[in-house]
Amino acid sequence: MVTTPQAVVRSLLPLAVAVGVAVGLELLLGLLGFYAQKILFDIGVNIILAVSLNMVNGFTGQFSIGHAGFMALGAYGSIVVTYYGGYALFGDVMMHSTVTGYALYFVSILVGGVVAAGAGLLVGLPSLRLRGDYLAIVTLGFGEIIRVVLQVSQPVLEPSEMAAVPWYEQPWHLGRSLGFVHSGSYNTLGWTWTAVAVTLLVAYRLRESTHGRAFLSIRENEIAAESIGVNTTRYKVNAFVLAAFFAGVAGSLFGHQLGAGTASRPEEFNFMKSFEVIIMVVLGGMGSISGAAVAAVALTLLTEALRSFQDYRMISYSLLLVIVMILRPQGLFGTHEIWHLLARFRRKGTR
Amino acid sequence: MAALLDVKGVSLSFGGLKAVADFSLSLAEGSLTGLIGPNGAGKTTLFNLLTGVYQPDVGEILLGGQRLNGKRPYQIAAAGAARTFQNIRLFGDLTVLDNVRVACHLRATRGMWAAVLRTAGYRNEEAAIALRAMRLLELFGLAAAAGKQAKSLPYGQQRRLEIARALATEPRLLLLDEPAAGMNPQEKGKLRELIARVRDEFKVTILLIEHDMSLVMQVCERIAVVDHGVKIAEGTPGEIQKDAKVIAAYLGTAESGAAAE
Amino acid sequence: MSSFLQFLLKGIAVGSLYALLALGYTMVYGILQFINFAHSDVFMLGAFFSWRLSVLFKINEPSPVAATGVLLGAMALCSLTGFLLERFAYRPLRRAPRLNVLITAIGVSLFIENAGQLVFGKNVVQFPPLLAEHTFEVGGVRVRSVEVIAVVTAFALMVGLHTLVYRTRMGKAMRAVSIDHNIAGLMGIPVDRIISLTFVIGSALAAAAGLLVGITYGQIKQPADSSWVLYGLKAFVAAVIGGIGNVPGAMLGGLLLGLSEQFVAGYLPSELRDAIAFLLLIIILLVRPNGLLGRRVVEKV
> For A59-75, what is each residue's pLDDT tens digit?
998 888 889 999 999 99
Residue A108 confidence (pLDDT): 93
Q: Which residues of C touch A281 (CB under 8 A)?
A: none
- In angstroms, how far is the first alpha carbon of chain B from the final one? 34
Q: Which of A331-335, A343-347, B96-100, C270-274 has the highest mean pLDDT?
A: B96-100
- Beta carbons of A318 and C286 less than 8 Å apart: no
- Beta carbons of B74 and A229 less than 8 Å apart: yes
Mean pLDDT of A279-295: 89
CB C267 within 8 A of CB C53: no
CB B49 within 8 A of CB B60: no
- Beta carbons of A271 and C226 less than 8 Å apart: yes
**Quick one: chain A helix, strand, coil %, rounded to 5?**
75, 0, 25
Asked if A128 has any chain B CB less than 8 Å from its own CB, the reply is no
The amino acid at residue A345 is F
What are the domain boundaries of chain B? Answer: 1-80+171-261, 93-170
CB neighbours of C145 closer than 8 A, spacing ≥ 6?
C131, C132, C133, C134, C135, C136
Residue A4 confidence (pLDDT): 58
- Beta carbons of A230 and B74 less than 8 Å apart: yes
Pairing of strands B32-36, B205-209: parallel
CB neighbours of B16 closer than 8 A, spacing ≥ 6?
none
CB neighbours of C49 closer than 8 A, spacing ≥ 6?
C73, C74, C77, C78, C207, C210
Residue in A221, A222, A282, A322 to test binding to C, most C beta-carbons within 10 Å? A322
Touching C: A residues 99-138, CB under 8 Å? 126, 129-130, 132-134, 136-138
Mean pLDDT of C284-301: 70
Share of chain B above pLDDT 90, in %: 64
Q: Which residues of C touch A310 (CB under 8 A)?
A: none
Of C110, C269, C277, the CB nearest to A314: C110
Partnered with residue C144 across adjacent β-strands are C135
CB C201 within 8 A of CB C161: yes
CB A324 within 8 A of CB C131: no
Q: CA-to-CA distance for A64 and B220, rounded, in angstroms?
A: 48
Q: Which of A267-271, B200-204, B253-257 has the highest mean pLDDT?
A: B200-204
Comparing CA positions, the residue from C162, C24, C176 lying closest to residue C85 is: C24
Asked if B202 has any chain C CB less than 8 Å from its own CB, the reply is no
**Range in A132-136, A196-200, B4-8 the model is least confident about:** A132-136
Q: CA-to-CA distance for B179 and B35, rounded, in angstroms?
A: 12
- Beta carbons of A322 and C277 less than 8 Å apart: no
Q: CA-to-CA distance for C280 and C285, rounded, in angstroms?
A: 8
Touching B: A residues 6-25, CB under 8 Å? 7-8, 11
Mean pLDDT of B143-166: 93
Of A177, A311, A318, the CB nearest to C110: A318
Of A132, A137, A329, the CB nearest to C281: A137
Q: CA-to-CA distance for C298 and C34, rounded, in angstroms?
A: 18
What is the number of residues in chain A?
351
Q: Which residues of A touch B112 (CB under 8 A)?
A: 206, 209, 211, 238
Measure in Å the smallest separation between the Cα of C233 and chain A Cα atoms. Answer: 8
Confidence grade of residue B249 (pLDDT, cut at 50, 70, 90):
confident
Is the domain spanning A12-270 CATH 1.10.3720? The answer is no
CB atoms within 10 A of CB C36: 30
What are the domain boundaries of chain A? Answer: 12-270
**Interfacial residues of C (vs B; Cβ cutoff 8 Å):** 298, 301
Confidence grade of residue C297 (pLDDT, cut at 50, 70, 90):
low
- Beta carbons of A230 and B94 less than 8 Å apart: no
Element (H, E) at A204: helix A189-207
Residue B33 confidence (pLDDT): 94
Question: Is residue C35 over pLDDT 80?
Answer: yes
Confidence grade of residue B254 (pLDDT, cut at 50, 70, 90):
very low
What are the domain boundaries of chain C? Answer: 19-230
The amino acid at residue B143 is A
Q: What are A107-149's pLDDT values in tens digits?
A: 999 999 999 999 999 887 766 677 677 788 888 888 888 888 8
Measure in Å the smallest separation between the Cα of C301 and chain B Cα atoms. Answer: 8
Asked if A340 has any chain B CB less than 8 Å from its own CB, the reply is no
- Provide the angle, in degrees to the nearest 10, between the axes of the packed helices C273-287 and C247-267: 130
Q: Which residues of A touch B108 (CB under 8 A)?
A: 210
CB A65 within 8 A of CB A155: no
- Beta carbons of B77 and A228 less than 8 Å apart: yes
Measure in Å the smallest separation between the Cα of A115 and chain B Cα atoms. Answer: 20
Element (H, E) at A208: none
- Beta carbons of A205 and B118 less than 8 Å apart: yes
Residue B121 confidence (pLDDT): 86
Residue A306 confidence (pLDDT): 80
Q: Which residues of A touch C117 (CB under 8 A)?
A: 311
Residue A53 confidence (pLDDT): 95
Asked if B181 has any chain A CB less than 8 Å from its own CB, the reply is no
Asked if B92 has any chain A CB less than 8 Å from its own CB, the reply is yes
**Burial (0-12, 13-18, 19+ Cβ within 10 Å), B69:** middle
Question: Is residue A192 over pLDDT 50?
Answer: yes
Distance from chain centroid for Cα C145 = 22
Q: What are A213-254's pLDDT values in tens digits?
A: 999 999 999 999 999 999 998 999 999 999 999 999 999 999
Mean pLDDT of C164-172: 90
Q: Which residues of A touch B89 (CB under 8 A)?
A: 221, 223-224, 227
Confidence grade of residue B259 (pLDDT, cut at 50, 70, 90):
very low
Fold exhibited by the domain B1-80+171-261: Rossmann fold (3.40.50)
Question: Is residue C180 over pLDDT 90?
Answer: no
For A330, name the nearest residue in chain B, comparing CA atoms only: B93
